[in-house]
């Protein structure tokens, strides 16, 4: 199951899984774009079983409805890929700041509501897609202002939401291990990828990551298919362990083949992880893997 699978990294991840023979669920906010993605995938993998389901991670009711109608009793792989990078402060359907709500709270709620189906698979994996921005100076979890109410800056809100995502991944795997579960949580960051996530950003940034300039910008950007490689390694590498994190390993950390790399230091803090987990439970009303 791949969230945000109608384009970019999500589409390429889903395509590779379908080509490998997996039954794939494309969980997409826009059902029409999801149908187009399905057509593109089945063209690459004729005969592949690909299903499109509507899911809006910025709406807790949509997440609950999605989980409730899925016909699959077991899920081997959940890729928490969908995300946003808002140009200005906005709110989800439930009133959360859009970056924090979509990038962290949505995947948190979705994972909790699918956990029993993941446990039904023999060795399920939950792969959370992070970002290299979780290592920038602005990427710190301010528990007094997690939703940027005191002031909003695009890069800061996004970086903080992605640090929260990685912190969630580490805490999720810790709790799964403590519970004796065979399900494991891993993470990956795709590097600098030419995708639609930058559509709301300034013109210079959009130009820098325009596919038409790929030859000029290949030293710091790569295609969605190349960006998906780190996600696919986290999902499929037989030697990968719970808590592992993968990202580009070229001379520039934004490009190159995927390698195992350390998780951002704040995300490794179990006190921080437990505190963020509690906040996510309180805000979403979804509770699982209690300490």
Residues noted as catalytic: 158
> Sign of dihedral through CA atoms 266, 170, 255, 205?
negative
For residue 24, what are the β-bridge partners? 50
DSSP assignment letter at 264 = P
Other CB atoms within 10 A of residue 47 CB: 7
Dist CA 209 CA 56 (whole Å): 26
Dist CA 181 CA 144 (whole Å): 33
CB 18 within 8 A of CB 44: yes
DSSP 128-157: EE--GGGGSTT----TT-TT--S---HHHH
């Amino acid at each position: 199951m791949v969230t945000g699978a109608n384009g970019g990294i999500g589409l390429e991840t889903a395509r590779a899984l379908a080509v490998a023979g997996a039954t794939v669920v494309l969980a997409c906010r826009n059902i029409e774009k999801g149908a187009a993605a399905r057509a593109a995938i089945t063209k690459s993998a004729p005969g592949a079983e690909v299903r499109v389901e509507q899911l809006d991670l910025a709406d807790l009711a949509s997440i609950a409805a999605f989980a409730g109608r899925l016909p699959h009793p077991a899920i081997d792989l959940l890729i928490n890929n969908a995300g946003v990078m808002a140009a200005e402060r906005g709110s989800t359907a439930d009133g959360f700041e859009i970056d924090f709500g979509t990038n962290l709270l949505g995947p948190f709620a979705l994972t909790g509501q699918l956990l029993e189906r993941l446990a039904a698979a023999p060795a399920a994996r939950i792969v959370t897609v992070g970002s290299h921005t979780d290592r920038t100076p602005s990427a710190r979890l301010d528990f007094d202002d997690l939703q940027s109410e005191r002031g909003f800056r695009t890069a800061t809100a996004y970086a903080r939401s992605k640090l929260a995502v990685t912190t969630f991944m580490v805490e999720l795997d810790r709790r799964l291990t403590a519970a004796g579960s065979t399900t494991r949580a891993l993470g990956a960051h795709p590097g600098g990828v030419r995708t639609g996530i930058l559509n709301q950003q300034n013109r210079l940034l959009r130009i820098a990551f325009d596919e038409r300039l790929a030859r000029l910008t290949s030293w710091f950007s790569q295609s969605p298919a190349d960006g998906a490689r780190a996600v696919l390694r986290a999902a499929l590498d037989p030697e990968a362990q719970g808590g592992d994190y993968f990202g580009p390993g070229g001379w520039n950390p934004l490009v190159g083949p995927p390698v195992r790399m350390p998780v951002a230091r704040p995300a490794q803090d179990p006190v921080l992880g437990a505190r963020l987990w509690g906040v996510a439970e309180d805000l979403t009303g979804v509770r699982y893997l209690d300490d």
